[in-house]
Amino acid sequence: MIAKKGEFYSGAGMMGVFVVVLVVIFMPIFNGHNGLNYLDALYNSISKGSAYYIPAMQEEAQPFAGTSVKVDLVMADETQARQSSLLFQKGGALVNVNGPNLAVDGDLGKILAVCLSDADLMYHNNGSDVAAKYGYGERQVLHNWWAANNAMENDLKRQKQFKAAKMVATVNKKAVETAYNYYQIEPQKISERYGIVTFSLIFYVAYTLWYGFAIMFLFEGWGLRLEH
């Protein structure tokens, strides 16, 4: 039995509108994307504009120029080790490949400079330059930098070269990971998309409240009540 038909049918109507809007959101009518994908791409492009740390990383890495390091790295497999050896060689390092293992002897400053240069190219969506530089896919290049830097950080810590290890980790986090995650995304300033950003935030709050009131009216109209 419906205890309060007015509230029940109001809730049912609101729920119907909610479902219709939800269906529209998941239709590819926003530049060929559904609403969630469109907004996800929008906020990614806006956040990319404020996540460009590479110039700062290049300045922080300069004091490590002339710092000699000898590290033993264990890569995922022989292929990754062979590919990663090319990265260090571009920085003038001597590299010995033995299966999945790399023995690297070089200038940390020069190695980081090459890493940051590759990350900068990727951040600006110039992946073809990176691929041409090493002869394989640009995404794999950055993944190999990430893996090699992780291994280098661990070995530097083992050698108690903590400042160098911290620098390598910071480059990985603020340059390599950022460039990889934002690759092929065009940066935008929030001031350029202020209208749609404001609308999306207001819509999210209003849409959530609409759903909550629809549920409340349905339950109250049905006769369900919360009591102490």
pLDDT digits (tens, 9 = 90+) for 151-170: 999 999 999 999 999 999 99
Query: For 180-203, how does the pLDDT look when each residue is reduced to its tens digit (9 = 90+)?
Result: 999 998 877 766 777 777 888 898
* 143 within 8 A of 83, measured Cβ to Cβ: no
In this prediction, residue 62 carries a pLDDT of: 94
pLDDT band at 226 (very low <50, low <70, confident <90, very high): low
Give kind and range of the element (H or E) at residue 41.
helix 35-48
Q: Note the Cα 41 to chain centre separation in Å.
A: 12
Side chain identity at 106, as an amino acid letter?
G
Give kind and range of the element (H or E) at residue 217.
helix 194-222
* 186 within 8 A of 44, measured Cβ to Cβ: no
pLDDT band at 227 (very low <50, low <70, confident <90, very high): low
In terms of C-beta density within 10 A (0-12 exposed, 13-18 middle, 19 or more buried), how is residue 89 classed?
A: middle
Q: In this structure, what are the phi and psi dihedrals at residue 105, rounded to the nearest 5 degrees?
A: -130, 110
Between CA 38 and CA 42, with CA 41 as vertex, the angle to 5 degrees is 85
In this prediction, residue 1 carries a pLDDT of: 61
**Which whole number is the average pLDDT over 105-129?**
96
Side chain identity at 25, as an amino acid letter?
I
Q: At residue 228, does pLDDT exceed 60? A: no
Q: What percent of the chain has pLDDT over 70?
A: 96
| E strands present in 60-139 | 68-74, 94-98, 101-107
State the Cα–Cα distance between residues 202 and 194, nearest whole angstrom: 12
Side chain identity at 66, as an amino acid letter?
G
CB atoms within 10 A of CB 111: 29
Q: At residue 143, does pLDDT exceed 80? A: yes
Pairing of strands 68-74, 94-98: unpaired
State the Cα–Cα distance between residues 61 and 64, nearest whole angstrom: 6
Query: For 52-99, how does the pLDDT look when each residue is reduced to its tens digit (9 = 90+)?
Result: 899 999 999 999 999 999 999 999 999 999 999 999 999 999 999 999
**Which whole number is the average pLDDT over 39-60?**
83
Query: For 7-39, how does the pLDDT look when each residue is reduced to its tens digit (9 = 90+)?
Result: 888 888 999 999 998 888 888 877 777 877 777
State the Cα–Cα distance between residues 81 and 75, nearest whole angstrom: 6
Record the tokens describing residue 152, joined without a space: 């280098």
Please state whether 116 falls in left (phi above 0), alpha (psi between -120 and 50) or beta: alpha
Q: In this structure, what are the phi and psi dihedrals at residue 103, rounded to the nearest 5 degrees?
A: -110, 115
Q: Which pTM value belongs to this model? A: 0.75
